[in-house]
Structure 1
Amino acid sequence: LSRLLASSSAPSIRLFEGGYGVSRREWRLVGLVAVYGAMSPSELAERAHLERPRVSRVLTGLVQRGLLARVGLPNDRRRARVEITPAGRQLYEEVFPQLARLHARLLSTLTPQQLAEFDQMLDLLTEAAEALARTSQVTLKAARHLGGRKRGSS
């Protein structure tokens, strides 16, 4: 799956990074807001499968570039929702059809039956991975800056 993702993502990444100056993570957030509409930063992080602090950093850049906007809630100014701006909508409408064509070209190598079976298998694996993540008994957090080990461990 990792090899497929790396190979199939390369043309897409070249398109939105090279052609539009938007990173993969930025594109993901713009796309989610374009498709699902305004939402809280927490909901956006959940939908993007990213940690909230990371989403917050990316959001700050997207807001500065005018692609997304943080709009305070009228009844609670401490909370906000994320909305797509006209510039963000234009970006989405320009890039998405190009990405859809790339993905359709890749998927055209499968027959309709193979595609249906592949989709079903991906659903099963995703459900199993999510269940594993929910029930995982690992209690240590990786210290990424130390190569994944906690200080002092052997």
Structure 2
Amino acid sequence: MPGDNANKALIDSLNGLLADYFALYIKTKNYHWHVAGPQFRDLHLLFDEQATELFALTDIVAERVRKNGGATLTSIGAIGAKASVKDDDRAKVDAMDMVKALRDDNAALVETIRKVKAAATEAGDNATEGAADDWTDQAQQRVWFLSQILA
């Protein structure tokens, strides 16, 4: 049976993923609100679609934390302290720079999810392991869509 340390590591990794989902959600929404240029409509809609997907995942990840006996993030400050996704506070960003940033952030998210899956394996949490596969697929799809815009 997995130890208490493995469970704590899983909870910590899930909270890191949760923080990244929130940070990436806000960044994607920022770009949704501020995108401009010839591809405005397509990017505006894509960013909104991706933000909606990211936000929906926050509750799922938070509930995995709770189901494992942990406490979730409690505030914007807690999210900021735990997130590895970097903010972009600018209102004016070139549309293709937005696409590149979101592609790169989602690609990094894939690696974060893989670490969560490894922690879930170590803790014996097969439900989180299975969910991580879905989360990986979703992040890879976002990377793929964003990459195709840049091709």
The two structures have a TM-score, normalised by structure 1, of 0.30
Structure number with higher helix proportion: 2
Report which structure shows greater RCO (CA 8 Å, sep ≥6).
2
Larger radius of gyration: 1
Structure number with higher strand proportion: 1
The two structures have a TM-score, normalised by structure 2, of 0.31
